Amino acid sequence: MDSAHKHPFSFNEAISFIVNCEDQDEIDYYWEKLSAVPEAEQCGWLKDKYGFSWQVVPESMDEMMRGNDQDRIDRVTQVMLVMKKLDIAKLRAAYKG
């Protein structure tokens, strides 16, 4: 992307980077370092100062969204949809019911 040639495109949400975080401190750290466009924040997604999209998510999200318990998945999803930066404690509470 960084060359002497012009590029007739910009970055968009079709490509994003994922940061899998062990705990809330790690989520908070990456969120603070990366987020540069507050109006683009939603459901663990953010944009950095270059326009790259990032997903900053807890490693436990895979566990919470997998399985056959559709009610559990729906609870976690509904809680996540109102968040900007993900809150592991609230997601876990929804997971546990």
Buried b / exposed e along 51-80 (16+ C-beta atoms within 10 A): ebbbebbbebbeebeeeeeeebbebbeebb
- Asked if residue 60 belongs to a domain, the reply is yes
DSSP string, 76-91: HHHHHHT-SS--HHHH
Q: What's the pLDDT at 2?
A: 63
State residue 84's pLDDT score: 98
Q: What is the mean pLDDT of residues 60-76?
A: 95
Domain hosting 83: range is 16-96
Instruction: Note the pTM of the prediction, 2 decimals.
Output: 0.86
Asked if residue 5 belongs to a domain, the reply is no
Here the CATH number for the domain that contains residue 24 is: 3.10.180.10
Q: Which two tokens stand for residue 22?
A: 């062990």
Q: What is the pLDDT of residue 85?
A: 98
pLDDT in tens, 29-51: 999 999 999 999 999 999 999 88
Q: Examine residue 83 and state whether it is found in any structural domain, yes or no.
A: yes
Q: Is residue 69 part of a domain?
A: yes
Q: How many domains does the chain have?
A: 1
